[in-house]
Every structure is written in C-alpha cells, then in structure tokens.
Amino acid sequence: MDEKINAILKEIAQYTAADDDALEDYRMRFISRKSVIGELFGEMKNVAPEDRKATGAKLNTVKNAAQDKFQALIDALEQQISGQAVHDVPDLTLPPPDATIGAIHPLTQVRNRIVNIFERMGFNTVDGPEVEDDWHNFTALNFPPNHPAREMQDTFFIEKDRAEDHSDIVLRTHTSSVQVRLMETQQPPIRAIMPGRVYRNEAISARAHCVFHQVEGLYIDRHVSFADLKQTLLHFAQELYGKETKIRLRPSYFPFTEPSAELDIYWGTATEADRRVTKGTGWLEIGGCGMVDPNVLENCGIDSQEFTGFAFGMGIERMAMIKYQIKDLRLFTENDVRFLKQFTAFN
C-alpha cells in the first residue's frame, strides 16, 4: 500500500496539463470517484486493523495533494488562456457574418393571430387535455351512443369497450371537449376560445390529415342570438384576411348545436389549383358553428331556460392555406426547410 501511495504522489507532482483534455484526464485519474486514489480507499478493508489509522492518514494526504494540484493546473491553464486572449481580439471594423434567421411555423403564426383577434373581442384563451374520456368528448356534447363518430373510422381509441357505460378513453377529436370542461366549472357569462391539436382517423391528403389543429369558440350569456354568431365570424374573417373577405353559412348538422351551419371562406377560382382545392366552387370550408344545443347546456349544469349561446370550430390549417395561398396542407407537417424558410418575413 505504501509503495502505491508513493508512486501516486510522484505521478501527481510530475503531471502537467497543456489543455482542457489533459486537465480532464487528470481529473478522471486522480479526482473522480473511480480514480486510482478511490481504488486505494476501497482496499482499506484489506489493511490490518492496527495499521488502518496510519494508512488512512496517508491516503488523506495523497487525496489532498491531488486536489491541490488539480486547482494549480486549472489556475495555470486559465492564466495561459488569458495571456493568449490579448492577441486574439477580433477586428471590430469587419462586417458581421451572415446570420441564419429562424422562422415561426406558419401554423403558429396563424394561431397567434387568431388568438389576438378574439382576445380583442373579449374572448379568453382556454386549454385542455388531448387524451379525453367519453363524457367530455362525446356524451356531454349530445352524441348518441350509436353516432358514427364513436366508431374506429373517425376516432383513435386508447381504451375501448371496457363496459357498456361509454367509458372509452380517446384522443380528442375536437377541442369541444374543452368547452365542456369550461361549462362544468364556470357559470355564464362565458366567452372563450380553445385552440389546440386534435386527432381523426382519416386518410392523409392535400385537404385532410389525421393530426391537425382547431380553434373553437364559445359564448354563453342571456339573449345570445344567431346574429351575434354571424357578426362575430364575419368580423374575425375580415380581420384575418382583409375587409373585402366574404363568408357564407350553409345549413348543416352537429349533435351539439341547433341550428348548425358550415362556415366557408371565399378562395376564388382564378387558377386551376384554386379550382382543384375548392372543387370548382371557389369556397373553402374552414369549420362549423351554431347555437349551443339546450341538452349540452343542461349536461354541463347550465340553465337552458335562462341562457343561450353559440359555438364554433375552425381548422387552423385551412385558415393558413387561405392566408398564405398554400395548396397542400401536408406541407405543414413535413418539416421541409425550403417550405418553412418562406415564412421568415411573416414573423
């Protein structure tokens, strides 16, 4: 043991470090938990009991010597680097190098713009979980037990058919589930939007994807009418796309609103691509809307005799396609740098 200690002390005294790598080698050999000194401490169990006190004192001496030398090596290396730095000052008269400027993703840009518009109209922004139970995603929203949206062709089920009480766990198919959670915990007046990611078991194409983004809105108070809904959506569309923007509301059906309508934005038919995207009509659907069904209000503990409200849900991808004239929504998720660089100027 004494011979090993003397050899280590001699090696420590002779060690030099010209760079950071040599300094790290020293640390690993003499300072770290698995160092040669640490191995000697591990051999203490083999030392005779009457010799352990003297041997322990010697080991502490070599340990302290190793730490003192380590600090001395650090100080010497820092002094060497600072001496070199005086001669390495860059020429401040040279022009700066070209900097690569990143870009906020176009979907994030559009989402932020949407939130800004609705916040100026008095809407709060609310978030909720992406993994939902059947009650919040379907039942509370007036979906009957045999509704097609409950089946596998539309919904990603995480846990299914555990019982007959519709206790399935799913990836949310819309952010309407956040509306339910909000109505369960807050009494009217309620005015909020719910942007977020949703999931549908659909074939991926230029017009559809299995993962996409929605922004839904909810306004509940006394004497809320369909006219309020129409003017809210028209003001939003003209704020996002310009004062000349046209919208149309087509009668439709949703379990959670009555009456219901599809919301379309006029895209145009100037080019062949425009006609293909809009199926020759010039109109592009971006979402749905309607007056909140009284059953939904009652399911969430709100008196439908006293309060009315409207709700809407829009696809952020579709709105980004219109704003930036993008023909294929698959581009949003392919992470093609050539595509993303085009949006640097829009930040």
What confidence tier does 89 reach under pLDDT thresholds 50, 70, 90? Answer: low
Whether 315 and 254 map to the same domain: the answer is yes
Q: Write the CA distances from 9 to 37, 70, 75, 190, 254, integer angstroms.
A: 10, 13, 20, 76, 82
Is residue 225 a part of any domain in this protein? yes
172 with 137: CB under 8 angstroms? yes
Instruction: Give the residue-averaged pLDDT of 147-176.
Output: 75
Cβ neighbours of residue 172 closer than 8 Å, sequence gap 6 or more: 128, 129, 130, 131, 132, 137, 196, 198, 199
pLDDT of residue 347: 55
**Amino acid, res. 301:** G
Whether 204 and 339 map to the same domain: the answer is yes
Whether 235 and 285 map to the same domain: the answer is yes
Q: Give the whole-angstrom CA distance, residue 210 versus residue 299.
A: 29
Whether 110 and 81 map to the same domain: the answer is no
Q: Give the whole-angstrom CA distance, residue 56 versus residue 24.
A: 26
User: What range does the domain containing 281 cover?
Assistant: 106-128+173-346
Whether 231 and 328 map to the same domain: the answer is yes
Tokens found for residue 297: 């209000």
- CATH number of the domain enclosing 177: 3.30.930.10
pLDDT of residue 226: 95
pLDDT of residue 208: 77
For the stretch 325-329, contacts whose Cβ atoms lie closer than 8 Å and that sit 24 or more positions apart, written own/partner, are 326/106, 327/206, 327/273, 327/276, 327/277, 328/206, 329/206, 329/207, 329/208, 329/209, 329/212
What confidence tier does 346 reach under pLDDT thresholds 50, 70, 90? Answer: low
DSSP 8-class letter at 31: I
Instruction: Give the residue-averaged pLDDT of 290-314.
Output: 94
